[in-house]
Homo-oligomer: A and B are copies of this chain.
Amino acid sequence: MHYTQEDLSALRNFYSNQLLNDTVPFWFPRSIDTEYGGYLLMRDQDGTLIDDDKAVWIQGRAAWLLSTLYNTVEQKAEWLEGAKSGIDFLNKHCFDADGQMFFHVTRRGEPLRKRRYFFSETFATIANAAYAKASGDEQAAALARDLFGRCIRYATTPGLLPPKFTGTRPAKGIGVPMIMINTAQQLRETIGDPRCDEWIDKWIEEIRRDFVKDDIRCVMEQVAPDGSIIDHIDGRTLNPGHAIEGAWFILHEARYRNNDPELIALGCKMIDYMWERGWDEAQGGILYFRDVYDKPVQEYWQDMKFWWPHNEVIIATLLAYLMTGDEKYADRHRLVHDYAYRHFHDKVHGEWFGYLHRDGSLAQTAKGNLFKGPFHLPRQEWYCMMQLNAYLQK
């Protein structure tokens, strides 16, 4: 069933209200660490702190969020000051001597763990870029550009980061081109960078060529360097919510490029393929992992329902509907939106729970930990609000 203008207007108001009166107030101002800088984000359902450690990914994501709210919603001084706290903490404590960033630090910023990935760097890029736009800080802008260059080097130089696997069975993941598309888009929309368009083209082309499999209607999470399917447990493992996140990055790019029809077609088929594999027809919600040939998956939580794939699918289906007017995306958006706000949203304390069993019952109460914080949910509510605003103004 199509959405009417009234439906879309109500949705816009809903997302705006959730973002500003439910999600953001759960986190801020209480999470700003006024003593050591950065954010104290590992919180239980009622906001009680369960750990004062700091996850570097989430420090960057939170600084990005506050800067972005300042840039696009309202120039609130508390958002800009809050963003600065995270930017200062990241830049002061979260870089190792070799220039690589840490993954997990103490409240004071002492390093606990460094990983073989550069996602800390991608989140620090978008945080510094959005903060530079908000504040006019030239140092933050220069750092964002420098970090983006480092991320390109990490992404394109095999062996620059220590490998987790031997060279026996080379593989590459969709995560790298995906995160780099989004990082470049954020950089372009805040402070601009002449490298972005060309690199986005390359990464989209890599996804289209190597990860999207039309013959089996699938987006692979991992493939061999030549794009072939690696028929072992890891190689067969699909992450539908992640692939659909990639789909909306591509739809976002299509919109930037005057609704490029090829990019719209690519993003929409990625949604179609992975909706078919990820939506749980029996119990609702998006399944975390699936095997491409329906064999058992290694990861234990494979059929749990996590918050973030639902955020990504809410964005992707709404954006596909607004861009194509195809009724099926309204239907899917309605399904995933209703499921998610019914099962994940905490009506008592605000924000969403993170982890449900397959049947939708609550598995645990953390609102923030090493991997969850103020990012996927507020980004979804913000992005959907912004898209609906633009659509309704036309």
Listed in ascending order, the chain A residues whose CB lies under 8 Å from chain B are 42, 44, 50-53, 106, 110-114, 164-166, 168-169, 232-233, 295-298, 300-304, 306, 355, 357-359, 363-366, 369-371
Contacts and interface: CB of A to CB of B under 8 A. Distances in A.
B296 A366 contact: yes
A188 B228 CA distance: 49
A303 B366 CA distance: 14
A164 B113 contact: yes
Nearest to A113: B165
B300 A53 contact: no
A191 to B, nearest CB: 33
Given A232-B53, A357-B357, A357-B358, A297 B166 contact: no
A277 B204 CA distance: 49
A381 B296 CA distance: 26
Given A50-B233, A113-B164, 20 more contacts: A44-B296, A51-B232, A52-B232, A53-B232, A53-B233, A110-B168, A111-B168, A112-B165, A112-B166, A112-B169, A233-B370, A296-B365, A296-B369, A298-B370, A300-B306, A301-B301, A303-B363, A303-B364, A357-B357, A357-B359
B302 A363 contact: yes
Contact of A364 (B50, B165, B296): B296
- Secondary structure at the A interface, as helix, strand, loop or mixed, is loop
A233 B369 contact: yes
15 contacts: A42-B233, A50-B296, A52-B232, A53-B233, A106-B169, A110-B168, A112-B165, A113-B165, A233-B369, A296-B365, A296-B369, A298-B369, A300-B355, A300-B363, A303-B363
Nearest to A165: B113
Contacts of A53: 232-233
A357 B169 CA distance: 33
Contacts of A52: 232
Contact of A44 (B42, B164, B232, B295): B295
Given A297-B364, A300-B363, A301-B301, A106 B168 contact: yes
Nearest to A110: B168
Contacts of A364: 296-297, 302-303
A301 B300 contact: yes
Contacts of A111: 166, 168
